[in-house]
C-alpha cells in the first residue's frame, strides 16, 4: 500500500509511539486521578508528561491549560459551545471544515449570530470584508489554519491581531498544521487552539486537545467525575478538571506524548521541509500530466502538505478507487467534510482527490503515484 492520506490520519506512526502505547497498556494501566495508588499515579504522570510536551511544542508553560479531548472536532465543540451564548456574534471563514461549520450552524439555530468572511481561490480570506464584519456583540473569531481540502493557509497572525484590536477572542483550528508548522502561543495572537493528536502530532486516534491561552471561562461540554472535589456535586471550576470529566484516553495520550517528543527530537522544520519536498514533486509531476487540474497555492511552502487535484471530468471518488485498485495508492476523495471550501474552488460536484504525504513517504512512492495518474490520463486521451 502507498499511503497518501496523512491529512486524514498519519500512518505509519514512529516506533516510539507504538512502544509508549504498549508500555501504558501493559504496565501502567491505572486510572489517572481515581485514587492515589501507584497504578493511578503512574498513568497520571504519563498523561501529565504529555501535557508538558505539548506546552513545549506550542510555546506555553501552563500544563493545566492543556485540555484533552477525543479529537480536534471535540475540542472545537468544547470551545464553541463553551463560549458562545444566544445573542453573541462569531466570525468565521469560507473554508471551514464541518468540525467548525456544523457547530456554528447548530449555534445559529440557538440564537448565535454567525458571519462568514468571503473568499475566492487565491484570496481565500478577504481581510477588508473581515474588518467590516465586526459588531458590538462579536465575541469570537474562529478559522482553520490550513484548508483540509487544498492545504491553503490563512493569514492567522493578521486575523488574530485584528480580532484582538477589537477585544475579540481568536480560536484556531490547527487540524492540518499542528506538528508541521510552528505554532507559538506566546508569539501568535491566539486565545484557543484546537488540535488533533492523531494527525501530524503522530499520536493514536482518539486523542486531541484544546489549549486555552486566555483568561476565559468555558462552560463544560460534559459534566461528571474528575477525581477531584469528590465531596461536592458541583463541577470543579479549575483547569483542566473543569473540562475533562470522565476517564481520559490515557493509553492514547501516552502515545501522543511519544509522538510529540519524536517531533521535538527530529525537528519540526526538518519534517516540514521533507513533506514540502514531496509535495513539490507531486505538484510538478501532476502539473505536467494532460487533463490534471490542481487546486490551491502553487507555493508548497505556504500550504499544509496536501495536493488536491482532479483528472478531467472524472469523479474524484472513482479516480481514487482506481488508484487503489491499480497500484495500491490510498488517498481521500470526494468532499472532505468541507462543503464551503468545495463551493469556493468549484468542486462541489466532482470533489477532489487529495494526496497528503508524510515525512515517512518515500520518493519512490511519489514516483509510483505520479506514474499511475499518468497512465490513467493516457488511457483517457
Partner 1 sequence: MLYGKLKDYRALLTFPSLTEALGAERILDRSGCPFASIPTPRSLRSGCNTSLCLPLERKEIIDDLIDDGVVFTGVYEAREDGFAPLTW
**Binding footprint of partner 1 on the chain (CB under 8 A):** 32-33, 35-36, 41, 44-45, 48, 51-52, 61-64, 227-231, 236, 238-241
User: Nearest Cα to 244, choosing from 28, 74, 21, 50?
Assistant: 74
Is 208 or 227 the residue whose CB approaches partner 1 more closely?
227
Contacts 24+ apart (CB under 8 A), 331-335: 331/4, 331/5, 331/355, 331/356, 332/5, 332/7, 332/8, 332/356
- Give the ranges where 4-97 is alpha helix by DSSP (H): 15-27, 38-58, 72-83
Q: How far is the CB of 267 from partner 1 (least distance, A)?
A: 24
Helix (H, G, I), strand (E, B) or coil at 194: strand
What dihedral do alpha carbons 71, 197, 168, 99 form, nearest 10°?
A: -40
Strands 138-144 and 292-295: unpaired
Sign for the CA dihedral angle at 323, 180, 209, 183 comes to negative
Distance CA 243, CA 5 (A): 31
Distance CA 20, CA 272 (A): 24
Q: Which residues pair with 212 in a beta bridge?
A: 192
Strands 192-196 and 208-212: antiparallel
User: Which positions ≥6 away from 22 have C-beta within 8 Å?
Assistant: none
Cα within 13 Å of Cα(87), Cβ side: 0
Phi, psi of 21 (to 5 degrees): -65, -45
Is 34 or 135 the residue whose CB approaches partner 1 more closely?
34
Is 151 or 220 the residue whose CB approaches partner 1 more closely?
220
Q: Which residues pair with 116 in a beta bridge?
A: 92
Q: What are the E-state strand segments in 242-306?
A: 292-295
Distance CA 77, CA 72 (A): 9
Neighbours of 211 (CB within 10 A): 27
Is 62 or 318 the residue whose CB approaches partner 1 more closely?
62
Distance CA 243, CA 232 (A): 16
Amino acid at each position: 500500500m502507498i499511503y497518501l492520506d496523512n491529512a486524514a490520519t498519519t500512518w505509519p506512526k514512529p516506533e516510539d509511539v507504538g512502544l509508549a502505547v504498549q508500555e501504558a497498556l501493559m504496565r501502567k494501566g491505572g486510572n489517572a486521578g481515581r485514587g492515589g495508588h501507584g497504578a493511578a499515579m503512574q498513568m497520571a504522570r504519563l498523561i501529565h508528561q504529555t501535557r508538558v510536551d505539548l506546552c513545549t511544542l506550542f510555546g506555553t508553560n501552563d500544563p493545566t491549560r492543556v485540555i484533552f479531548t477525543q479529537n480536534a472536532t471535540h475540542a472545537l465543540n468544547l470551545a464553541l459551545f463553551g463560549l458562545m451564548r444566544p445573542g453573541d456574534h462569531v466570525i468565521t471563514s469560507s473554508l471551514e471544515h464541518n468540525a467548525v461549520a456544523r457547530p456554528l450552524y447548530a449555534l445559529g439555530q440557538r440564537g448565535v449570530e454567525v458571519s462568514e468572511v468571503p473568499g475566492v481561490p487565491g484570496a481565500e480570506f478577504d481581510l477588508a470584508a473581515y474588518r467590516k464584519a465586526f459588531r458590538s456583540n462579536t465575541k469570537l473569531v474562529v478559522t482553520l489554519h490550513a484548508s483540509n481540502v487544498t492545504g491553503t493557509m490563512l493569514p492567522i497572525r493578521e486575523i488574530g491581531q485584528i480580532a484582538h484590536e477589537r477585544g475579540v477572542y481568536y480560536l484556531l483550528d490547527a487540524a492540518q498544521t499542528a506538528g508541521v508548522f510552528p505554532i507559538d502561543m506566546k508569539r501568535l495572537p491566539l486565545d484557543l487552539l484546537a488540535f488533533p493528536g492523531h494527525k501530524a502530532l503522530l499520536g493514536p486516534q482518539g486523542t486531541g486537545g484544546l489549549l486555552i491561552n486566555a483568561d476565559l471561562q468555558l462552560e463544560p461540554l460534559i459534566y461528571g467525575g474528575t477525581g477531584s472535589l469528590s465531596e461536592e456535586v458541583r463541577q470543579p471550576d479549575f483547569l483542566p478538571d473543569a473540562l475533562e470529566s470522565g476517564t481520559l484516553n490515557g493509553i492514547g495520550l501516552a502515545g501522543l506524548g511519544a509522538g510529540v517528543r519524536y517531533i521535538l527530537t527530529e525537528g519540526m522544520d526538518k519534517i516540514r521541509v521533507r513533506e514540502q519536498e514531496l509535495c513539490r514533486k507531486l505538484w510538478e509531476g501532476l502539473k505536467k500530466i494532460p487533463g490534471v487540474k490542481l487546486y490551491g497555492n502553487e507555493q508548497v511552502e505556504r500550504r499544509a502538505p496536501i495536493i488536491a487535484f482532479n483528472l478531467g471530468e472524472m469523479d474524484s471518488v472513482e479516480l481514487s478507487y482506481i488508484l487503489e485498485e491499480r497500484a495500491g495508492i490510498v488517498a481521500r476523495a470526494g468532499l472532505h467534510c468541507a462543503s464551503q471550501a468545495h463551493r469556493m474552488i468549484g468542486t462541489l460536484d466532482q470533489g477532489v482527490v487529495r494526496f497528503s504525504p508524510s515525512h515517512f513517504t518515500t520518493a519512490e512512492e511519489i514516483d509510483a503515484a505520479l506514474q499511475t495518474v499518468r497512465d490513467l490520463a493516457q488511457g483517457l486521451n
